[in-house]
Amino acid sequence: MLEAEIRRRRRDKDILLMTHIVLGYPSFDASRRIVEQMVRAGVDLMELQIPFSEPIADGPVILHANQKALAAGSTVDRCLEVAGELAREFPIPFLIMSYFNVVFVRGIERFSQELRQAGLRGAIIPDLPHEEGTATLAAMSAQDLEPIFLFSPNTSDQRMREIAQLARGFVYCVARKGVTGQRTEFASLDAYLARCRAATQLPLALGFGVKQREDVAALTGKVDIAVIGSETIRLIDERGIDAVGPFIASLRASNRG
């Protein structure tokens, strides 16, 4: 189970790191090289995004990566093939992240079967409300996949409890309203994270705006996983793939992990 693996990894680290890449950006070969650098630098788990034309939860950096990957010919078939190769090669849990349109067009049961066959551990589908997820959850459960649900600052306590009943693996806590890649004031999250913790005993991940070591340090002791997404893609755009490993390693410099 993903939850058990997260708890096992947490025994040795104050906080885990989860990163996010867009499959096929800047190319599929580059995607593999990026993952290799991230794993060597100590990443604990990873989201692999299947690009989509309207990624509504994503800010301009990840939106641009989605558009470029699609323009370069990225397909769901190729994404799942490469995701399977990565899951077999590297010893960390991999999750698929994409939007429900991709899942629906592929076919919910087929998509779930393909994730399982590829060795992926679950899926993050940010635009799928839990009230409308019955068929998807059943298909994922049949394949022993973990559905990763989201909390946000606007989520009511009651809704958090409802989501927690269906979530598996961990809960992804969105740090603020809006899309990925914008500035987040992590010092102001204590009350929100207390509500998240009261709603579930699952490990908590927090993303949207994690950019530097100080951000990770601010989250240490409050959540189990810090999620780094847009900042890595921005770094690749500005400085190239070889900058990824040192950047990821620098996020850990102040904690025992």
Does 156 score more than 50 pLDDT?
yes
Does 220 score more than 50 pLDDT?
yes
Return d(Cα 250, Cα 104) in angstroms, integer.
Answer: 39
Does 97 score more than 50 pLDDT?
yes
Q: Give mean pLDDT, residues 99-104.
A: 95
Cβ distance 206 to 225 under 8 Å? yes
**Tell me, what's the pLDDT at 183?**
52
Return d(Cα 123, Cα 61) in angstroms, integer.
Answer: 21
Does 190 score more than 50 pLDDT?
yes
**Tell me, what's the pLDDT at 54?**
80
pLDDT-based confidence at 133, cuts 50/70/90? very high
pLDDT-based confidence at 58, cuts 50/70/90? confident
Tens-place pLDDT, residues 176-188: 544 444 455 666 7
Q: Which residues sit opposite 99 in a β-bridge? A: none
CA 180 vs CA 8, 192, 210: distances in Å? 29, 18, 10
Cβ distance 51 to 78 under 8 Å? no
Mean per-residue pLDDT of the chain: 91
**Tell me, what's the pLDDT at 253?**
55
Picking from 131, 133, 244, the residue whose alpha carbon sits closest to that of residue 122 is: 133
**Tell me, what's the pLDDT at 185?**
61
Does 206 score more than 80 pLDDT?
yes
- How many angstroms from the chain centroid is the CA of residue 180? 12
What positions carry a catalytic annotation? 47, 58
pLDDT-based confidence at 49, cuts 50/70/90? very high
Q: Give mean pLDDT, residues 209-232.
A: 92
pLDDT-based confidence at 150, cuts 50/70/90? very high
Domains belonging to the chain, first-starting first, are 2-251 (3.20.20.70)
Picking from 228, 225, 230, the residue whose alpha carbon sits closest to that of residue 248 is: 228
pLDDT-based confidence at 254, cuts 50/70/90? very low
- Locate 27 and state its tokens: 């190319």
Burial of 146 (0-12, 13-18, 19+ CB in 10 A): buried
**Tell me, what's the pLDDT at 60?**
86
Does 257 score more than 70 pLDDT?
no
